[in-house]
Each structure stands twice: as structure tokens, then as C-alpha cells.
Homo-oligomer: A and B are copies of this chain.
Amino acid sequence: MTVETMPHWLDKRADLTPHEIAIEDSVGPLTFEQLQRYSKMMAKKLANVGVLEGDHVAIFSNNSADYPCALYALSYLGAVAVLINTRLSPKEIAYQLNDAEVSLLFTSSEMHDVSKRVIAKADKDIELRAIEALIIEKEKQVPLKEEINLNDLFTIVYTSGTTGSPKGVMHTYGNHWWSAVSSALNLGLNEKDKWLAALPLFHVGGLSILMKSVIYGMPVYLLDKFDVEQVHDAIMNKQVTSASVVAVMLERLMERLDGSHYPETFRCMLLGGGPAPKPLLEKAKAARIPVYQTYGMTETSSQIVTLSPQYALTKLGSAGKALFPAQLKIVNEGGSEQPAMCAGEILVKGPMVTGGYYQNSEANKQAFQQDWLATGDIGYLDEEGFLYVLDRRKDLIISGGENVYPAEVESVLLEMDGIKEVGVVGKEDDAWGQVPVAFVVKSEEAVTDDQIINHCHLHLAKFKVPKAVYFVDSLPRNASNKLLRTKLVDRLKNF
């Protein structure tokens, strides 16, 4: 008998530990019972504005306690939550709403103006509702889900790809469940655990903290955004035991720590969002910060490979081993498994890995080989099976933990008059790890770097906009005319 159902997570949690804290934010603490009550209320109000089982509803909000309420409200209705990155441009968001067949954009009031512009750009009629304004709606008495089917779709989160078109990663309840459970088997589970979320909840790294909260019965210390003072204070004084960060955040936190130490009870600094520089890891080790390096992506519902602190020095730079129910292998271009110490593409498999991209059979065909996901990332295993990631997905630029795909930026630039050819690569940056920069071959019309950057700002999220434009006579290409981005990276040394 295959397991498919369990009680609705929030009902179960509110039944087991009703008075424990679910969310602690600037507004105050929210218990699991309150979270359940608010979520159910919101579900009935959403039902009143027409949300039905199976509907796709986009949540467009920065971090707040409303976020989990909205998420669970949709879940109680059997609707699917499409999580929108608030940093994207209206055009980018409209693309995702169209692609995910969203019927309602559920938005925080601060996003309301942007939302109107998004709606204007969308292909079809999309209802717009402000989360805060829902309070005036009546509650429609509809049956709420009492059980969760692990095979049901819960969230869709978009990720770009080498092809440039963002793809909707589908997460079932099961994907999130197994991610949370696998992490607990790795990190342990303590009744005093409190997890800090400064990552955006619309990213899978932030989202996974909400999932852990309800499954473990653990409070989330929720911040609007990463603020070094607030995070430092939370770890030093607010009994936070675990935090999810990207390298840039860790760097700033260590500056702030400035030679002192976190309390002994702080037990996990989960470091994701791309490979960390070795000097940073060495400094963190010296500061006795319990860093767990991880490797993961939207498609794996957050971490799938993790290095425990006891290996932080002997396996410095490694992302560790696949979590208990997960597997990884390295294959060469022919698809054969590579021996130890030989680089190749990283393939992963496990119950936290997405079943596929939403309505994108082409991408699914490319990415999946039976149950294995081809990540496009390059790495190798050492003799003891520890993973070393050499390169994130071909040409991927990671800027402050956000993914920037050169192909996506290039396709926006090629729409411009005056640009004949373009190549986008990442440039090392002290603050952000990497920033995108563009190499441009002009066409006959005149174009300036300011014009190019303005154009990008109209169409792209800020973090994707090239920080510099280099005009060149030609781009390096191979025999089949494929752009050689690695050669562009070499050229950066001259600028």
C-alpha cells in the first residue's frame, strides 16, 4: 500500500501543540492554533471571492505572517500557490502568471501598485486581491481539506534556465514533506529549535522553513528581509538556534560578529544559494560558527546535499553528501557514471525532487532521465563520496543568493535596437559574490550603455540588470557559432 494521505499538517500541528509559537515577527508571536484559525478564515474568504479547488493563485508579497496564512488558506481549499519573487519586473511576473495559468493575484498592500501594472500586462483576466483587504469579505462555508494527499500539487516556484525562459517548478506536498523530514534526519530535532527566516519566503529556501515549522512544531523567527543588525540580534538575544543564509549574508554577519561568538545554543547556520568562497568558510570555522554547507535548488525543494560541521575543515569546500532518502551521481557527457575525482554533470534523485516543470514537456524531457534530475551543474565526488560543486548550472550567475541566467538577460538585450550580439557573464563582486555584466557588439544604430541599462530596468528584476556594459567588436564563439562565455570571463580580467 502506497502512502498517500495524512491529516492536514496545520490541523494536526494545532491539535498536537496548539499553544506553541508558529511565527515570531515584529508584530508579535502567533501560535499554531492562531495560524490555523487565521488560515481557515482566509480560506473561507478566498472561497467567497471565487477560489476553487485546483485553482492556481499567485501570492505576491514580501515576508510577513500573512504569507503562511495565505499558503495554508490555499491548501485548505485544495488550490495551488504560485509564489512570486517580488524583485521581478511586472513583465517577468506577468509571464509567470500566464504560464502558470493563475486566476487570482493575491497581493500584500505594498505590492498593490506593481500588481496593477502586472495585471495590465497579463494575457487574460486575472483577479486582483489585496491580502489585507480580504478581511471585509464574508466567509463562505465550504468544506476545507482535512487530509493532505502527498501526491497533490502544493506550490509552483519559477526558476530560469539555460534557455532563458523561466520554468514553473512544481512541488507536491510530498516534496515538501520529504525535504523537511530529510533535513531533520540530518540536523536532528530539538524542542528548543527556533529557525530564523531572513530569506524571502517566495524562494524555496525561505519556504522550506515554513514547512519545517508546521511539521516539526517549531517557531520561525521571521524577518521582513535580511538586515544584519536584526539577524545578529536574533541569534545573540532571541534564542534563535538555526538560520538559513547565503554567502553574502554570512560574510556580513561575521563582520558584525567581529571576533565575538554566538551563543552555544545556536547550532546550525545553513548555508545555501551557491558555492561559498573558501576563505569565508575558513573564517566561519575560526569564529566557531556551525556552518552546514548545502547544495540544492528550487527543483530539490531546498537542500538535497549537506556537509556537517564536523567535516567543515577536512572537507573544506565540499557540499557534503546527499540526505538520507536522496542519491546523487556524476555522469559524463555520454551519461556514464564517473569514477571518483572525475568531474561531470551532477544528477540527483530523491523524494524531495520535483516531478517536473509545469506544462513544459520540452524542459522535462531535457531535465529528467527516469527519476534522476540532471541539474546542469558540474562537480565531482571525492574518494569518500563527498560532493564538490565546480560550476553551478552552465553559466549561472549567483548574485546575493538570487539566480541570474545569462540567456534570460541576453534575450532581453537582443530585443533592443542597436544591439547585434550580446554575451552576459558574472563578474566577481565583494558585496554580492557575483554581478552580471554584458559584452555588447553594436549594430549600425547608435546605443549607449545608459540606454542599455535603462532598457534592462524596464524588463528585468534589478538584480538581473548588468552592472556594466562592455562594447566589443566580436564575441568569442566556437566552430558551431556557440557563444563561449568562459572566454568572456577571461576577458573580464582586462577590464
Contacts and interface: CB of A to CB of B under 8 A. Distances in A.
Interface of A: 1-7, 12-13, 15-16, 150-151, 172, 174, 178, 181, 184-185, 188-191, 215-217, 321, 324-327, 350-351, 355, 371, 385
A313 to B, nearest CB: 17
Contact of A151 (B1, B321, B326, B351): B1
Contacts of A16: 321, 324
A5 B327 CA distance: 10
A2 B1 contact: no
B185 A6 contact: no
A2 B3 CA distance: 9
A373 to B, nearest CB: 11
A15 B385 contact: yes
Nearest to A170: B1
A188 B188 contact: yes
Nearest to A148: B325
A306 to B, nearest CB: 10
A191 B189 contact: no
Given A184-B184, A184-B185, 18 more contacts: A1-B174, A2-B4, A2-B174, A3-B150, A6-B326, A6-B350, A7-B325, A12-B324, A13-B324, A16-B321, A184-B189, A185-B189, A185-B216, A185-B217, A188-B188, A188-B190, A189-B190, A190-B190
22 contacts: A1-B172, A1-B371, A2-B4, A2-B151, A2-B174, A3-B174, A6-B324, A6-B351, A7-B327, A12-B324, A13-B324, A15-B321, A15-B385, A16-B321, A16-B324, A181-B181, A185-B189, A188-B188, A188-B190, A189-B189, A190-B190, A215-B324
A2 B4 CA distance: 8
A346 to B, nearest CB: 16
Contacts of A1: 151, 172, 174, 355, 371
Contacts of A5: 371
Contacts of A12: 324
Contacts of A184: 184-185, 189
Contacts of A325: 3, 6-7
Contact of A191 (B188, B191, B385): B188
Nearest to A12: B324
